[in-house]
Structure 1
């Protein structure tokens, strides 16, 4: 029974399976007919076998697990030192270059010193701190020297001043007020006063005790500038005012007040601007007074791109207040073209101006002017003329030779009138008068150059050269103006505590206008003017400082190291080798 029952059961299963297979075949046939009805008939040529190239085959069995890991929040620790990764290659250790001067944590210092020729020096500088937005401070200086070769060969100088600077949101303010005093004597001696011939001019008492002279200068300056903004087309402006009261030990006085301003507006690729100024000066000497006022107006338009800048404008200059008035219009053209940006640029321009003849600037250059300057000996009237630059054409190249060298070399050509020059006073050889070459065709041309070399923070070198030639209408020479002047300076830091500096100044030979009686020339009229040559000279100075601590330093400086008693002005030899040393303290 069991066998038959088993056989009957298997038969039913087979029948059911066959029925299912038959049903599946029927469904498959219906689907194929459906596909044929929609896509048409398909002929199968061979079975499709997918083949992958070896390069794209994945030779690793996939991980089918889908377990999501928990990602914790990361925390980073910033180290305050450089990590040293031991991979065999280490980062180069860069040795810091010592600064040109040791770091001093204070902004105030005082200096005292003594030297030969009875030299005394005192200097102090005080400021509020390192806040660049607000600076307030003051300074004072005293220096005196007394020569031993000539009676009255002494000099003294005093300076005192206060300054301030404030950077606000939209403007920056600068200001300074101070007092300068320079004293000397008329110690110049002509050859006739040195025993060659009797001196018929200078009184005996003045020969024994040269007359004292000093200059007092009280000045004030103020400046307002708009700050730079992110908007380049915003109107920029500046305003500057300065004035001074200047006078000598006698009756000569000069008072001046000047006001100048600038407006500039950028519109697309060019700038439109205006410079305007007024300089109002009054001069008094020998109970006479006169005015010397100059007004300027300079409109311009500037085209500026990445590698060029062209400025086109004109200068309207008016002189008034004195014996004569003049109005002139000069060109104001300037070009700056970068041939190789940051390395080589061409510059050129043409301009003109009235250069103010100022008693203050002349006395700073030559303190041996007569007690009553600007008196015309022919008319005995007080007369002053400004030098007129009718044309000033210039051009040259400038740029950088790498990051350490900057240079500028150019030529210039000027046509001037009323050129001021110095000449010995006809009645006193220790005094100088101011004379003018009023020719309309006076020509000045020459070459000038500048170079700055900064090898590192520890070494720098700079130099300046000016070569000029004068072709004058009336005067035989450009008196006391050398054809060649060369100046150079260097700063060298030996270590963090020791540094040295040096300066060199070369002045070419000059011509001086004097008179036969002063030169002891008895074979000609004593009142005849003669020309005397002043030899060229070199003045070298150097200094050394040792910084014992951050607050205390010891220094020594030598001037005129070649010990040459040269003359910048005729009959006035300068001091020979002189040295000064002392200490400076920061606090």
Structure 2
């Protein structure tokens, strides 16, 4: 305690010395202040601070723009990325394509089917190919008085050359066909009379043709065809056709123009009723210019066709003019496309075309061209999805001198085709209205399906009916690759009712023809195959599964259910 008291006395003494020393150094003059009244502040002495003070500076400085810069310095990195690896994708084995194949099949009714296709590349630009086919049957339809066997053989050779500015090829071939007029009306022909009928009708045909396609020229393409066609009944026909497509420059626009020259001449050994020779012949020259307009989703083709016809046998000539206008408009991209058009033309009919459509015609036909005044159509088409498309259309066709097949009446000429077992041709003015619908499904390369149906309505001028034209036609096709080895497919056809006429050969009844209605028919065909390896495949076919001996033509029933099996071999030289 004493120790603390000494410390406190020393501190007081030091502080007193310091004050005395400071007073000795002070230079301020001293004075006397008299306080008269003490200061008492009041409220009026206070003032309110303004919320927004006014700036009364003589100069207001402007803010200087500040720029921000990033100073980048490289930084050494020791990171090394690992190399990426592509994901493994399972690749399908590439399909080996062969240039040649051979097919052979045998079946019921002693049916033989054979095909051989050969192709050889001479160089990078040249190639030659050949095709041989044969299809025959020994027949065997029950309850027939005549033989119903048939055969069809073809051989064709082609040479092609692809150059820098053009591509051209030459094609030549020969065909032999044999059919029988076996469609005797058995109620009108006795068995004894049938024994004297041969009924065999053979066709012979040869052709030579060529076509060429040009690049970067006003002449786009050109072709010619010469065909000789005849039969074992003394008939013969020649046809020569030249076609070309050129671009005509007019006022800096190019008008695409099709030009055709078509000559037809032939003769039949006799007419159906008499022994007079029946000749026919004409040539026609046609020019079809057209101009295309495109604007956004609208495409319009404007044109017309002009034909000059010279009938050589009748020594007569005439000029025909037809419309040729088409248009399409994309309403909704590829989903909904509207289209329509009006066309016309002079259709050249020939013995070859008639015999190809109906092999039971008689070699006594009167042949002349058909004047198609117009073919007007409208429709909608598009895609429902990426693998399904559709097409709906309506059509109205007006033909003058349209060729119609009609059953020949029974005559006393004693020809193999004069017993009501052949067909002739009649011409009439026919207007046809049709509605059609089509759906195609292409799920992938392994599955394809197509369905089509069409309805017809006809109006004829001089004839009682539009003979042998169906009121309904429908079809379905299916191709399915089941797996790597198995494949299958089907074809189904439906044809509605047709009408034909028939004469009664009775001396007590007037020979007035009456109308015959041919029933509609349904034809289903199925095939199944197996790929043994890349080159060899085996297959089996079944035709007319309904086993219906329907009549495609009056008094000509077809073979019932048919089975055929065979193999196809592909190879290279």
TM over 0.5: yes
1:114 pairs with one of 97, 103, 106? 106
Q: Supply the distance in 1 between the matched residues of 2:149 and 2:341 (Cα, whole angstroms).
A: 45
1:174 CA displacement:
3.0
Query: Is the CA contact 1:270–1:304 (under 8 Å) kept in the aligned structure 2?
Result: no
Question: How many angstroms does 1:387 deviate by?
Answer: 1.2
Q: By how many angstroms is 1:133 displaced?
A: 4.8
- Residues 268, 106 of structure 1: alpha-carbon distance in 2 compared, 3 angstrom cutoff: farther
Q: Deviations over 1:107-142 (max 9, x none)?
A: 111111111101112211111259885442111011
Residue 363 (structure 1) shift: 0.3
Out of 368, 371, 379, the residue aligned to residue 363 of structure 2 is: 371
The corresponding residue for 1:431 is: 422
Superposed displacement of residue 266, structure 1: 7.6
Task: Check whether the contact 2:278–2:364 (CA below 8 A) recurs between aligned residues.
Answer: no
Which entry has the higher C-alpha Rg, 1 or 2? 2
Tell whether 2:341 aligns with 1:349: yes
With over 3 angstroms needed to count, the CA separation of the structure-2 counterparts of 1:569 and 1:49, relative to structure 1, is closer
| Distance change in 2, residues 1:523/1:400 (3 Å) | farther
Distance, in Å, in 2 between the alignment partners of 1:559 and 1:188 is 21
Among residues 504, 515, 519, which one is paired with 2:503 in the alignment? 515
Q: 1:561 aligns with which of 540, 545, 559?
A: 545
Secondary structure of the residue aligned to 1:364 is helix
In structure 2, what is the equivalent of residue 406 of structure 1? 389
| Alignment CA distance shift 1:45-1:455 (3 Å) | closer
* Alpha carbons 2:248, 2:257 under 8 Å: kept: no
Instruction: Structure 1 unaligned segments of length 5 or more: list them.
Output: 1-42, 70-75, 85-92, 375-383
Per-residue CA distance 1:449-475 (angstroms, 9 max, x = gap): 333221101000123333221111111
Q: In structure 1, the residue corresponding to 2:305 is in which secondary structure?
A: strand
Aligned residues: 493
Q: 2 CA distance for matches of 1:156 and 1:62?
A: 90
Q: Distance in 2 between matches of 1:311 and 1:285?
A: 42
Give the whole-Å Cα distance in 1 for the aligned partners of 2:404 and 2:65: 105
- Cα deviation 1:385-432 (Å, max 9, x = unaligned): 211111221111222233322332211112221121112222221121
Counterpart of 2:479 (choices 482, 487, 491) is: 491
- Determine whether 1:136 maps to 2:128: yes
For 1:286-435, list aligned pairs within 5 A: 286=269, 287-320=277-310, 321-323=312-314, 324-374=316-366, 384-426=367-409, 427=411, 428-435=419-426
Q: Distance in 2 between matches of 1:553 and 1:249?
A: 39
Deviation per residue, 1:194-219 (Å, 9 max, x gap): 7xxx58xx944335xx3211111111
Tell me which residue corresponds to 1:124: 116
Q: C-alpha separation between the residues in 1 aligned to 2:226 and 2:252?
A: 37
Is 1:153 the equivalent of 2:141?
A: no
User: 131, 146, 164: which is aligned to 2:159?
Assistant: 164
State the distance in 1 between where 2:152 and 2:518 align.
27
Query: 2-side partners of 1:572 and 1:373: how far apart?
Result: 20
**CA deviations over 1:142-163 (Å, ceiling 9, x no partner):** 1111222234111101011112
| Distance change >3 Å, CA 460–CA 95, structure 1 → 2 | farther
| 2:176 is equivalent to residue 184 of structure 1 | no
Offset, 1:496: 1.1
Equivalent in 561, 564, 569 of residue 577 of structure 1: 561
Q: Over aligned residue pairs, what C-alpha RMSD do you find?
A: 3.4
C-alpha spacing 1:328/1:495, structure 2 compared with 1 (3 Å): same
TM (norm. structure 2) is: 0.78
- What does residue 279 of structure 1 align with? 262
Distance (Å, rounded) in 2 between the aligned partners of 1:191 and 1:532: 15
Larger RCO, structures 1/2 (Cα 8 Å, 6+ apart): 1
Of the candidates 230, 245, 250, which is equivalent to residue 247 of structure 1?
A: 230
* CA distance 1:342–1:236, change in 2 (3 Å): farther
CA shift for structure 1 position 510? 0.8
CA contact (8 A) 1:251 1:372 kept: no
